[in-house]
Structure 1
Amino acid sequence: MPTRDAAAFAVLTLLLLFVAVNLQAGWVYAVDALLVGFAVAGWLSTFLAARPLPVYRRMPPEVFEGDRLTVHLSVGPVSPPRFFVRLGDAVPGLDPGEVFLSLVREQTVVTYETVARRRGVHRVDALDVRSEGITGLFRARRRLACPGAITVLPRYAVLGRFPLPGRRGLELRPYPQPTRTGTDVAGVREFRDGDDPTRIHWRSTARRGHLVVREYEREVEPSAVLLIDTRPDSVDPEGFDDLLRAAASVAHYVTRRGQPVRILADGVSGPVTVGWMEALRFLAAVERDGGRTPFEVCAALPEGTPVVVFTGEADAVPALTSRGLPVVAVLAGSAPGGLLLEALGVPVRVLRRGEEVGACLDS
């Protein structure tokens, strides 16, 4: 489509044509013809620049909230060459970026810097190609297919302490320990001084030519379940993201001490036992679209299972304690009732709006 400059250019061209007709001056006709040729060249270059061209995007598959990252766009090769091409890339969860290429002929790789702003699993299908040609008199825009995906993991804080329910945080022991006891065989290993001779695995000993003993899994008390309240009416989007950052921080606190993490949310049949990175990916994918209360979500948990509940409603917590579940509550900043829960003996951490999550959990 024509730009504002095109209107002024058209008026000038028509004015010169009027002058040429009245004066019958050949040089005015020549100037007017040059102006018309200039406009035609601008229209053709704009039209060609906005035609489909091969574009491929490359970016990290996973980043944390707030991280800076570089997105690479591979453009071309293409014939005929394109001039003055702008690529506008808007990946959900990232700040939009734009690159400018004065000439596209051979394959060219261009980059732009952006920042991950919003947690989630984000997918993008296309990007914009825009051009005003070599004259700036016309403007064209086209959407080009350029699929991609990126996972923005929730930001987390390194906690010095946190009141895990049913135990003291400093009493968490590494998992697994070198010397295992229990009933389930984990594997075999070489005999060491002090090993029980009754654990010698004679078949493996004969095959390897040296003493080999059975190694058993250590019986470990289950770690706390991180229960995420995903009901949209319990917390606003900003508060929900704060709760997930808090859950990521607690998951880091637990896994750093050797325990696996168990996470539970509406839509999951039971607690999902995961490691550190799997916990982050789980939390990145959680949406604020649940329909069940925390009490209903954890109905199948055995009595005595320790639970850390992340919610925007303090009223949802007493129902958990009534089932005999040791509970620690992490509340979004706008949730009242924290003092009442503390009076009931429930440790509470409140995520105050505008403050760092780590400082709120460490307090």
Structure 2
Amino acid sequence: MLTRSGRLTAVFAVVMLVAGTGADYPELVAFGVAATVALVVAVLSMLVKPSLDADRVIRPDRATEGERAQALLTVRNLGRMRTPPLSVVESINGEAFTVDVPSLAAGRSYDHRYSLPTQRRGRYEIPPVEIGHSDSLRLLRSSARKGTASVLVVHPLTHHLGVVPRGGPRDSEGLTSSVSALGGVAFHSLREYEHGDDYRLIHWRSTARAGKLMVRHHVIPDEPRQLVVLDVAAGSYPDGRFEDAVRTAASLVRAACRAGLPLELRTTEASPDQLRAADQWVDDELPALDRLADVALSEEDGGIADQLADVVSSTEGVSLVVVTGQPPAGRLDVITALRPRFLTVGLVTFGSPQPSSAGTVLVDARNSADFAVQWNELMSR
């Protein structure tokens, strides 16, 4: 491929040859021939392509807004001849920059470290590096993609939350259900004996009445679970505080996992992947934070009610926190209606104070940092 200098040289050669021939001016023809020879030499020198490989390692591949993340680029000469000076083009978040690599002897490599953009949350896909080399006059340039693509995930900034609302169990042994994990001390029900059951669990009175062996069904009490719902409707953020809402949701996610609570994060985006079963509770914050890294405002609103319907109909022991901005009138009515179905309910708004509601923790904040201060004060009372 012709470089800018190569294109100018080609134009110069044509002009000189045409002008010199037409005007019978041998000096001009000589200039044209010299430019043409330079192009031919450049083409011949580019026929020998170096054997190269490149590798990029990102550390860490997940970072929080403002944290430091670096890439280590390694270029290797796999051939038996010394390479010419090389240029490596990296493209990150739509911005390209060039790394100059010196001539490499056979079997040698060159390492280069550079910082990655972490100022804004997001999922940054970095394509394979583009390695190019030129002839000595920089008239032609040849390039090829080497290595593999990389991904940098920048999580939203989080604030420390000392406590998340658990609500507490409703009896001394905690909540139990038929899907609770076996092996605990909480009595759930009686059931028929199964092979492998501990004989010490046989309930002899029920066995005598039923005429078959009946055992006590002991389970581990259900833990309070944390459901975080992030409102992503564009109409709820007329003043552009969506980033504060995302950081608030991320702070709640991290606090719940730090407290050992099973967690689920949902958004109000109207898409098929939102319609998940109600038992998709996890104790790892990474999937939720990865999701918050690239969440965006949506014009297609699935509504808050749609994200709560399956939870209140099929689970118990759930603490709910809804994070929104300045929602339109009536959008939050569903929270009041469903309040008795949750252990605790929290509502976080930005610039939209809500009327007091029994049993609901209300926080109206200026930004995500202000939310953390207010939340910690409320939870410590």
What is the TM-score normalised by the length of structure 2? Answer: 0.62
Question: 1:182 and 1:343 mapped to 2: Cα distance?
Answer: 34
Q: Does 1:327 align with 2:345?
A: yes
Give the Å deviation of 1:319.
1.1
Q: 1:283-340 CA deviation, whole Å, 9 max, x = no partner?
A: 3225446742111111123378431012245343221121234422223x4xx5x223
Decide whether aligned partners of structure 1 residues 231 and 73 sit closer, same or farther in structure 2, where only a CA change above 3 A counts.
same
Give the Å deviation of 1:249.
1.2
Q: Does 1:306 align with 2:319?
A: yes
Aligned to 1:77: 77
Give the Å deviation of 1:81.
4.8
Letter in 2 for 1:292: G
Aligned to 2:186: 182
Give the Å deviation of 1:11.
7.2
Letter in 1 for 2:186: G
- Contact 1:57–1:73 (CA under 8 A) maintained in structure 2: yes
- Contact 2:160–2:372 (CA under 8 A) maintained in structure 1: no
Question: 1:123 and 1:47 mapped to 2: Cα distance?
Answer: 33
Aligned to 1:340: 354
Compare 110-119 and 230-239 and name the one that shifted more.
230-239
Aligned to 1:295: 305
Decide whether aligned partners of structure 1 residues 351 and 145 sit closer, same or farther in structure 2, where only a CA change above 3 A counts.
farther
- Contact 1:165–1:308 (CA under 8 A) maintained in structure 2: no
- 2:149 partner SS: strand
Which consecutive residues of structure 2, in runs of 5 or more, have no partner in the other structure?
A: 169-183, 189-199, 202-217, 268-273, 375-381
Question: 2:26 and 2:230 mapped to 1: Cα distance?
Answer: 83
Decide whether aligned partners of structure 1 residues 235 and 98 sit closer, same or farther in structure 2, where only a CA change above 3 A counts.
farther
Decide whether aligned partners of structure 1 residues 238 and 123 sit closer, same or farther in structure 2, where only a CA change above 3 A counts.
farther
Question: 1:182 and 1:127 mapped to 2: Cα distance?
Answer: 58
Decide whether aligned partners of structure 1 residues 5 and 280 sit closer, same or farther in structure 2, where only a CA change above 3 A counts.
same
Question: 1:350 and 1:232 mapped to 2: Cα distance?
Answer: 19
Aligned to 2:91: 90
Give the Å deviation of 1:279.
1.8
Letter in 1 for 2:158: Y
Aligned to 1:362: 373
Decide whether aligned partners of structure 1 residues 153 and 96 sit closer, same or farther in structure 2, where only a CA change above 3 A counts.
farther
Question: 2:238 and 2:257 mapped to 1: Cα distance?
Answer: 28
Structure 1 segment 221-236 matched on structure 2, within 5 A: 222-231=224-233, 234-235=236-237
Aligned to 2:68: 68
Q: Does 1:157 align with 2:163?
A: no
Q: 1:147-189 CA deviation, whole Å, 9 max, x = no partner?
A: 3333333321113466x3857xxxxxxxxxxxx85348xxxxx
Aligned sequence identity (%): 19
What is the TM-score normalised by the length of structure 1? Answer: 0.64
Aligned to 1:279: 285
Give the Å deviation of 1:219.
3.5
Question: 2:186 and 2:99 mapped to 1: Cα distance?
Answer: 61
